[in-house]
Structure 1
Amino acid sequence: MRALATRVPALLRERAFRRYWTAQSVSLIGDQISLIAIPLVAVLALGAGAAEMGLLKTAELLPALLLSLPAGAWIDRRPRRRRIMIAADLLRALLIFSLPLAYAAGALTLTQLYAVAFAVGGCTVLFEICNATLFVSLVPKSRFVAGSSLLNGSRAMSFVSGPGAGGLLVQLLAAPVALLADALTFLYSAALLARITPTEPPPAPSAKGYVTEGLRWALRHPTMRAMFAASGTVQFFNLMFHTLFVLYATTELGLSAGLLGTVLGSGAIGGLIGAVAAGRVVQGIGIGPTILLGYAAFTVPLLLVPLAAGATPLVIALLFLAEFLSSVGVMLVDISSGSLLAALIPDALRSRVAGASRTLNYGFRPLGAMAGGALGTALGLRPTLWIATAGATLCLLWLLPSSVPRIRTLPGATTSDEPAPEGGSREGVSGEGAEPGSVDSRL
């Protein structure tokens, strides 16, 4: 038993982090169910086309553009960010519950779907900006890569199990009913977060230029500027892609919901491999080169998706390969770039820079979704997917001339490997950090 315990990662032997990690893991599986179920609600239950899919994705992502900057400033002045996360989880559960209830009553409409998508997106903005602080309150800087690897390993596992479960639930039940699983995961996440009491950084004092200070700091920092530009490029073009992918796979490629979920879930095993390998890759080539490698592996394989045509086995093979390689890449990006961001950002600016990050990067998502819907209607699905996948590779042009490829280690990391005690502080850790993931977008 003792030998088995020593194989458990050190952070998971820490009760507070274990509860936090479990809450994130369960919620991520629910998110992946919704990722396939909500578009299928629009397509199968409500007859949405390319333009409606663009509006749906825009409604989901628009809060990141409109709310992230003011939310970051508001949260930096709050002493209890964890309580905001719990409230956001509970509200998201209620909003998701409303969809199957309306479906059962025969009253579900695209308008309600848009409204719920927008409201859930707003709650997600609050949750994720607070999460930037909670992560570094629980994890010492010397373990940022390890902590990010565990969280992104859970995300990779959700990529494997979530789409398959979502597709199966949609096929066995109905797409709106499948969303009940996601609502339950939000409730479970809230219950676990309520059981941890980490010491959070004190509220930042308000001053002139307070709201935009995080944005100005990020734009002045050359490394941050290059990473935000690369991530923003990926967000825009990948959301063009993602907006039309389910419609393309089900209509032009003729895949059923269950088969599509199975292909994506099995291909996402690459994410597990990427999460496990990220630490060793960072040790071997450095954190900056890992970021560059991750972006290349994330974007280039997606060119196989619009290339897919012909017999169903060939289509499945190309989609699987695209998903597998891209999932490896996104894990390398999120773990390495998330850890680097977590080491660069001052604690007093944490939520404001996280808000600025979501404004600069995630703000491109609704623009990409709108562009995808418009181009998909005007040019067709496959030509638009060619534009989206080729455009995403342009992210490398921001990184190559920057300082990122030359960064080998995390700035300011110490050799201390002591975890943060629950309800206590961490000796020797400055508290500089950001949200542990930075791209958070996939096939």
Structure 2
Amino acid sequence: MPSPRIDGLGGHRDFRRLWAGSVVGQFGSAIGMVALPVIAVVVLDVSAWQVSLLAGITALTTVLVAFHVGHLVEYTRKRPVMIGGDLIRAVTLASLPVAHVLGALTYAHLCAVAAVNAVCAIAFTGASQAHLKSLVSPAGLIDANSRLESTRWLSISLGPALAGALIAALSAVGALVATTVGYLLGALALRTIREPEPPPPERPVAGERTSRRAELFAGLGFVWGHPTLRPILFGWILFAGASSMAAPLTAVFYMRDLGFSAFEYGLLMGVPSLGGLVGARLVPSLVRRLGALRTLWWASLLRGPWYFLIPFAVPGPGGLLMCGAGFGLLLLFAAAANSAMAGYRQLETPDALMSRVATLWAFATTVSQPLFILIGGVVASLVDARAALLAAAVVMALAGFLLPRKR
């Protein structure tokens, strides 16, 4: 079988503009995720349950509006949606420092900003997937997703540290000013893309119009009937859910059970994320050799087993290395799987369903995460954190076996 053609996008000026806008937006989101709860605790002195509610607003908003937003975005030009999403996020975040200066900042204001930003993020995700497919050639989609995924992991590893530095220098409210500027720069980068955007898909005409429910869930219907995207979605839900299940427990396990310091905990949360950057950039070479679907299959099989190093870690430097290696190699193969999955999904999805399929992935992830987190908490309370992390590792490893090796 001939190797699939993979085009590099290093010289694609419009993609570089899109990429630059994405990088700025990713770092802006990372800073905002840290700054909002800090403002709630330090500035407004709210209770613990209110901080938890603020964190849950994004998930609740996604559950309520994801399918509706995906449907609306599907029949709209995508670039204005992306630019508008960045501008709205910039304005809403800028309203917080202004309200603080005027002495009018409230908890309800914070919640409203979190909800609006969640809607904008959903719209941006749905629009950006469809826009990327129209901007680059099919042969360039793998390299495009590889580059976007690599910088996403860079923002995950460096974003919280940058947020901490900005909060220390400017305060949490001042850090939001930097986030606002970031979103404005992202909108400007998208505005400079010169390639004309093709018209959006046409809505069904009166004689062909399906029911409102069918239109809303058309992305789900397509994925459910697809022989490879359906198991890929189930595998992704399991892996993402198990990752979410493990995330809050690692702090307890690392610092209480293994006795790591706060500094060592910070290193384990940040440095291994660079493995995601490396894994994402390996994908174009892997797809040239194996194809997108086999690359996804191998990467999915190889990502889970490394996490077993973490629940079997012991106190001391050896355990620190085991946790760092386990997390870093997990992220390396997870990023490779994510990049291959995104490219394959875009190639398989019809243009008229791109936004709805993209928002389906966001919806499925958001809905499953709280359930897995709850299961992890129950296991940890009945046994201990090590047992819960071991259960998460088992699910991560098994998730890879759901994926098809070939179509």
Common fold by TM > 0.5: yes
Unaligned runs of 5+ in 2: 1-6
CA shift digits 1:133-162 (9 cap, x unpaired)? 110111111111111111112223323432
Match of 1:120 among 96, 117, 120: 117
Q: CA shift at 1:41, angstroms? A: 5.0
C-alpha spacing 1:98/1:238, structure 2 compared with 1 (3 Å): farther
Structure 2 counterpart of 1:168: 165
> Which residue does the alignment assign to 1:228?
233
Shift of 1:111: 4.8
Q: How does 1:327-346 map onto structure 2 within 5 Å?
A: 327-346=331-350
Q: Is the counterpart of residue 406 in structure 1 residue 406 in structure 2?
A: yes
> Is the aligned partner of 1:72 residue 2:84?
no
Pairing 1:32-181 to 2, within 5 Å after superposition: 32-41=30-39, 46=45, 49=48, 54-78=52-76, 80-101=77-98, 111-181=108-178
CA distance in structure 1 between the partners assigned to 2:287 and 2:72 by the alignment? 35
TM-score, normalising length from structure 1?
0.75
Give the superposition deviation at 1:386: 4.8
Amino acid at match of 1:203: P
Deviations 1:155-193 (A, max 9, x none): 233234323322333444544433433322211111111
1:379 is aligned to 381
Structure 1 match to 2:297: 292
Structure 1 residues 90-142: Cα deviation after superposition (integer angstroms, max 9, x where no partner): 11122333445556667666554443322211110011000111101111111
> 1:321 aligned to 312, 325, 332, which one?
325
Q: Is the 8 A contact 1:53 1:244 kept in 2?
A: no
8 Å CA contact retained: 1:23, 1:190 = yes
* CA shift for structure 1 position 292: 3.1
- Name the CA shift for 1:285/1:236 in 2 (closer, same or farther; >3 Å): same
**Counterparts of 1:24 and 1:302 in 2: how far apart (Å)?**
29
Deviations 1:287-333 (A, max 9, x none): 3332233334544444555666745x567545533442232122111
Q: 1:44 to 1:379 in 2, by over 3 A?
A: farther
Name the CA shift for 1:245/1:96 in 2 (closer, same or farther; >3 Å).
farther
* Structure-2 residue corresponding to 1:394: 395
Deviation of 1:86 (Å): 1.1
TM superposition score normalised by structure 2: 0.81
Structure 2 CA distance for partners of 1:88 and 1:320, relative to 1, 3 Å? same
Say if 1:92 and 1:325 are closer, same or farther in 2 by CA, change over 3 A. same
Higher helix residue share: 2
Shift of 1:219: 0.8
Name 1:195's counterpart in structure 2.
Answer: 192
Which residue of structure 1 lines up, in the alignment, with residue 4 of structure 2? none
Q: CA deviation at 1:82?
A: 1.0
The code of the aligned residue for 1:405 comes to R
Give the superposition deviation at 1:271: 1.8
Q: What is the root-mean-square deviation in Å for CA atoms of aligned residues?
A: 3.5
The Cα of 1:262 is off from its aligned counterpart by 4.9
Paired residue secondary structure (1:400): helix
CA deviations 1:183-239 (Å, max 9, x no partner) are 222111111111224323433323213222221111111211101111112233323
Q: CA 1:319 to 1:118, structure 2 compared with 1: closer, same or farther past 3 Å?
A: farther
Q: Is the 8 A contact 1:65 1:364 kept in 2?
A: no
Structure 2 contact 242–395 (Cα < 8 Å) conserved: no
1:347 Cα deviation after fit: 1.1
